[in-house]
Chains A and B, each alone.
Chain A
Amino acid sequence: MTNIPETGRTPRVQIRLVVIQILVLSLLGTLGGRLWYLQIREGQAYAKEASGNHVQQVVQPAVRGSILDARGVPLADNETRLVVSASRTDLLKMPDDGKGVLTKLAGVLSMTPAEVMEKVRLCDAKTPQPCWNGSPYQPIPITDEATPKQALQIRERAEDFPGITAEPQALRRYPSPGGSNTAQVLGYLSPVTDQELQQAQDTDSPYLRSDQVGRSGLERQYDKQLRGKAGVTRYEVDNLGRVIGEAKADAAQAGSNLVTSIDSRVQRVAEYELNEAMKEARKEWDRNTNERYKADSGAVVVMEAKTGRVVAMASNPSYDPNAWVGGISAKDYKRLTGKESNYPLLNRAIQGQSAPGSIFKVIPTAAAINAGYSFDGPYQCSSSYSIGGQVFKNFESKGYGPISLGRALEVSCDTVFYRLSHEEWKRDGGTKPKKKTNDWFYKTAHQFGLGAETGIDLPNEVTGRIPDRQWKQDYWKANKNAWCKYGKKGGSYAQQIAYENCLEGNRMRAGDSVNYSIGQGDTLVTPIQMASIYAAISNGGTLYNPTVGKAVVSADGRTVDEIKPKPRSKLPIGRKTLTEMSDALAGVATRGTAAWRFADVGWPQNKIAMHAKTGTAEVYGKQTTSWFATYTKDYAVVMTIAQGGTGSGASGPAVRNIYDALYGVSDGGAIDRKNALLPTPQKSLPKVRTDGTITSPKVSKDPAKEQRASQQDAGGGDQPQLAGTAATPTPENRDTRRRRRRGRGPGAGRGPGSRRTLT
């Protein structure tokens, strides 16, 4: 090919031309190599980046499922409001960026054009509120209070309002059927936080920026089921955000409905009666503190005895859960959580713990049997019991002579349990405990489920406390330094206690075991724990994990996920003892401390066998806590009122009224089935139709007041008023009301029984 001779061309030029050719080739080779690197080797990564570039998601929120009562009455549902929204994507396509449409829209909604424009502008560092904080591809709500007429105007003239939609949208609502409140059980919703948003990003149920999340109660426990799945449509967009195609669309899945075992009418009755009882208690004079009872908080649990399902659960003080809907105001928030608020958000049925007092006595009874004592005894019910010079008195220093354990329960004789517990303490080695102690009284309490969560399907349940040896040791370790610093021999009462605790607070002392035996001292329980225990005694000994949720039913009613009752364990007592104990508790209602609330005032004991146990627990520096635990073959009802007075006195009438409402019993004792709200627990589930509607019976305006009226009308009439404290106690019962008021407590000299006071 070379033609050097021909052209006379010098080799220099020829060589340089070859150099140029090589250079050119290498340049092209470089390009090819780089192209291969980008497209073949790194192609995957770039493809991913490209798809992130041009896909935007538009989310249709799922409708949150309803929370229903056992008969299908909605306790929490959604209210539809007409929401007018604007699509930025559509507006930006118009030559004037949609200004004309928005101005026209402002006219229809009787807003100013400026207001409307402000709502649809996007928030950034320079834009003050109001502005839109969400995704620009999401329709931006302009108002959620449009009238049907306005919505119609917009929809009828859709061509005049491109990019504008007027659609009904769901907002949470707590309708309070029949005046029931159920606030703490239902819980509430609040907007999702950034952190939750991030954490849930890659799970199978991610949150949306606009999502509301259950924060407490059932709303939180069943959040995942209730929330459903948002629909996502992925649009391909160009660099200015204009939509150029639809990539993928998943329809929204409405959340499932939660059917609970709550009966809204019984719930209303329970709430009303609890509140009335507290109001009545506040009128009562406390002779110990020389002021009226404060009755500052209370709780009541109505439980199905055979399943552990909760029929009603009330906590007082309460609040209106609707305060949270659409964002809570700062003022409301302070009212619910501030120092002055008395914490109405707390569900005191599962989060309130206090010493149980005498309703605890079923546990030492069982413990004594397990330790080998016989039920029949007899055991000496003396007026007092002394240990090494310290005197532990019975209430009013009253003695009953030798009695059985059953009778001890009936008359709530403390000294019988003092003695048994003290004997066991001594058998375990007393002040020098054996290597292996039996600790029957403590072990049995744990077997009854105390000192641990019941496992109810509500969040943040507390455990209560059984002050056993292990706990004493741990507690002493934690507080030793403070006690030893503060304690002083011969100082003030509190200083003396601290001094003693500093020296031997880690050891189980005789007084500790004595106090513990009657549910005092450091013992703490929750109402739900006591309700499950009494329900278990009723049903033959099966301790259930209490449940509020009964079934999760899909929005179309096609899938029903039943939440079965969950047996947790068996009570550690034999059949025979259980029957004997049950008889004794029936005795409490017929001739014992609760008789003046039941048998004496026309309770049809032969038709509906009532079992009860009263309790009046002392709290250092405060007024006594009223406890009342009861059960029939169907239900267990436990009520407590802090600083409310005695068990049967403060809580008695309210519990009686709840039973009256459940069974349709009049004040006089007549049973009228028509008036019975729930003579047997609700078995069937409410029907959810395929279109999402739910069949539910009507609830009257206020079942509680109607019940009160019907109980008075239908009755034999010889007992005019049972509510409050109107009934006159018999002399014996009066004793029980004021029992253990004197001879104990801080003022009555120092004794081990008072050590609890520092906890």
Chain B
Amino acid sequence: MSGANSFQVSGYGPQRAGLARLLARDSLARRLDWPMLLAALALSMLGSLLVYSATRNRTELNQGDPYYFLIRHVLNTGIGLTLMIGTLWLGHRTLRGAVPILYGFSLLLTLLVLTPLGSTINGAHSWIKLPGGFSLQPSEFVKVTIILGMAMLLAARVDAGDKPYPDHRTVLQALGLAAVPMLIVLLMPDLGSVMVMVVIVLGVLLASGSSNRWVFGLIGTGTIGALTVWQLGILDDYQIARFAAFANPELDPAGVGYNTNQARIAIGSGGLTGSGLFKGSQTTGQFVPEQQTDFVFTVAGEELGFIGGGLIIVLIGVILWRACRIARETTELYGTIVAAGIVAWFAFQAFENIGMTLGIMPVTGLPLPFVSYGGSSMFAVWVAVGLLQSIRVQRPMSA
């Protein structure tokens, strides 16, 4: 960061051409947050290895092609990178104007899931089948649009200098904006995603500087809401069973507790250095279900051991740490809110995903950002990285 202060920086720097522009000290490439970018790339690459290890002999899934999932994961990463570059190119400020359109589009997609176009995977009715064997999970994109939408509403008057904090009316509007897609996702029912969204809303409200009453009120409402949902039986049996199995994994080792149990055995048996890539007996023996998506961390745990599992946590830590910095350092509240929302999203989703494989969180169907197989998730997290990079690139280099 030394020397950065001596430059006159704005979002629209001097126009230069070609390589020189790229390498210039005030260039886009120089101003990018490389640690975050490299950590995200490393996670995606590590993910492709783990996904490959988990699927190379699952013939019933990979249609006889051991590289089926590997190729698609790499492809998804490529598309994700492209989306990130696109986001960066447009810039979060430009996107700020398009938020209503994006929000509306994502809302439409989630509504489509509830139509006959939607399909059910693992008890969650949260996918839209596309031609060519692809499928879309709109709830992943809703996470992004909720952040953007709320940020737009909450930051509007503050960034304009009208008020130091968002007023109650604005907060109420923002909450309403988040609540609509959340309700739809809850109906799917995709409980995991709703949990993530609740945490996102919490993070956004915290970062927006809204009154403490809102923050604690939301926590209270969330708790009461969860209890209500439980009591009213809105949850399906399988979801209750998962929570019961979390509380007591030995309850039914062949049934609902099976996932948690086998996952824990896989990770536990890894030890310090693991059994070596492609050599894990739990993984090769396909004892852990959904191992390329929700339980991908168990592959790392078993085959790469504490070192590999720890590396994933550290890499996620690097991304979160850089994102927190970006949130703190940007001048606009809009950027701060977006960054904080993303931090809340990544942090909670990673914690929930890894936590459930370690047996400290209940099992819900959530992918591990960057690592798990799954296009929608991959695209969404890379768009989020694009937003973070854009906020960093376009922040004023203050003295």
Binding site for B on A (CB under 8 A): 1-3, 6-10, 12-14, 16-21, 23-25, 27-28, 30-32, 34-36, 38-40, 42-43, 45-47, 49-51, 53-54, 236-240, 244
Contact = CB atoms under 8 A, between A and B. Distances in A.
Given A16-B207, A35-B301, A39-B301, A236 B281 contact: yes
Interface stretch (B69-77, B91-99, B101-109, B316-324): B316-324
Interface string B149-163: 000000000000100
Contact of A12 (B209, B269, B270): B209
B116 to A, nearest CB: 32
Interface in B258-296: 262, 264-272, 281-282, 284-287
B309 A39 contact: yes
B21 interface: no
B305 A39 contact: yes
Contacts of B344: 20
A237 B207 contact: no
A239 B254 CA distance: 11
A42 B268 contact: yes
Interface in B55-91: 57
B324 A20 contact: yes
B34 to A, nearest CB: 18
Nearest to A18: B328
A342 to B, nearest CB: 53
Contact of B329 (A3, A34, A51, A240): A3
B195 to A, nearest CB: 14
A691 B271 CA distance: 48
B206 interface: yes
B355 interface: yes
22 contacts: A3-B398, A7-B330, A12-B209, A16-B209, A17-B327, A17-B328, A18-B328, A20-B324, A20-B340, A21-B324, A27-B351, A28-B347, A30-B355, A32-B310, A35-B309, A35-B354, A35-B358, A38-B358, A46-B264, A49-B265, A50-B282, A238-B284
B330 to A, nearest CB: 8
Contacts of A19: 206
B209 A28 contact: no
B268 A39 contact: yes
Given A31-B355, A35-B313, 4 more contacts: A31-B350, A35-B310, A38-B267, A39-B306
A240 B284 CA distance: 12
B203 interface: yes
Chain B contact patch, size range: 35 or more
B272 A39 contact: yes
Listed from nearest, the 7 A-B pairs whose CB atoms lie closest are: A46-B268, A50-B269, A238-B285, A7-B331, A43-B271, A47-B269, A13-B209
B243 interface: no
A17 B268 contact: no
Contact of B336 (A17, A25, A54): A17
B331 A39 contact: no
Given A20-B206, A24-B324, A53-B265, A39 B270 contact: yes
A32 B268 contact: no
Nearest to A3: B398
B285 A10 contact: no
Given A38-B358, A50-B265, A43 B272 contact: yes
Given A12-B165, A17-B327, A244-B285, A35 B306 contact: yes
B198 to A, nearest CB: 15
A38 B207 contact: no
Contact of A30 (B165, B286, B360): B360
B398 A27 contact: no
A46 B306 CA distance: 14
A24 B320 contact: yes
Nearest to B353: A31
Interface in B352-399: 354-355, 358-360, 396, 398-399
A237 to B, nearest CB: 7
Contacts of A20: 203, 206-207, 324, 327, 340, 343-344
B306 A36 contact: yes
B217 interface: no
A32 B208 CA distance: 30
Contact of A53 (B164, B165, B287): B287
A13 B285 contact: no
Name the residue among B285, B306, B396 with the largest chain A CB count within 10 angstroms: B285
Given A13-B333, A20-B206, A28-B320, A47 B268 contact: yes
A54 B285 contact: yes
A46 B267 contact: yes
Nearest to A51: B281
A38 B300 CA distance: 13
A34 B309 CA distance: 11
B328 A1 contact: yes
Nearest to A10: B164
A24 B347 contact: yes
B361 to A, nearest CB: 10
A236 B265 contact: no
A27 B287 contact: no
Contact of B270 (A6, A7, A43): A43
A6 B331 contact: yes
A201 B317 CA distance: 49
Contacts of B398: 3, 6-7
